[in-house]
């Protein structure tokens, strides 16, 4: 009986609570326009900002590919396997070792 009363009180409290409103800061960074940018826009921005990508150190193709594969395997990024190489090429040319 005591457990039921506590549960009822918790549910009543939850039902009367105002929804939490979270406002994120506006996105100020955009991906560089280049072949492959649409893949970055459609796949990377699902989970994080463009700034997260653009502030990485200048990485090699091997490093970018490892990061993309980690995003797929560990975090479930829905990037099709056939788009990985094009995205790696875009990231290397735009933000990686080739950009410097």
Give the model confidence (pLDDT) of 73-97 as tens digits: 999 999 999 999 999 999 999 998 8
Which residues, 6+ apart, have CB-to-CB distance to 41 below 8 Å? 31
For the chain, domains (ranges, CATH) are: 23-99 (1.10.760.10)
Q: Which tokens hold the place of 84?
A: 């990985």
pLDDT band at 27 (very low <50, low <70, confident <90, very high): confident
- Could you tell me the pTM of the whole model? 0.72
Residue 98 has pLDDT above 90, yes or no: no
pLDDT in tens, 49-68: 999 999 999 999 999 999 99
pLDDT of residue 72 exceeding 70, the answer is yes
Using alpha carbons only, what angle is made at residue 86 by residues 91 and 97, rounded to the nearest 5 degrees?
A: 30
Q: What is the pLDDT of residues 5-25, one digit of tens each?
A: 777 777 776 666 678 888 888
What is the spatial distance between Cα 85 and Cα 88, in angstroms, rounded to a whole number? 5
User: What confidence score (pLDDT) does residue 18 get?
Assistant: 77
Provide the 3-class DSSP secondary structure of residue 85: helix
DSSP symbol at 30 = -
Q: Which pLDDT value is given to residue 15?
A: 64
Within 8 A by CB and 6+ apart from 84, the residues are 65, 68, 69
pLDDT number for residue 65: 96
């Amino acid at each position: 009986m005591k457990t039921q009363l506590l549960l009822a009180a918790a549910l009543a409290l939850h039902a009367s609570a105002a929804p939490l409103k979270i406002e994120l800061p506006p996105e100020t960074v955009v991906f560089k326009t280049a072949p492959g940018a649409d893949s970055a826009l459609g796949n990377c921005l699902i989970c994080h900002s463009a700034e997260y990508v653009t502030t990485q150190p200048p990485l090699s193709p091997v490093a970018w590919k490892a990061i993309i594969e980690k995003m797929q395997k560990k975090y479930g990024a829905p990037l099709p396997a056939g788009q990985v190489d094009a995205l790696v090429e875009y990231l290397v040319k735009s933000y990686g070792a080739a950009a410097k």
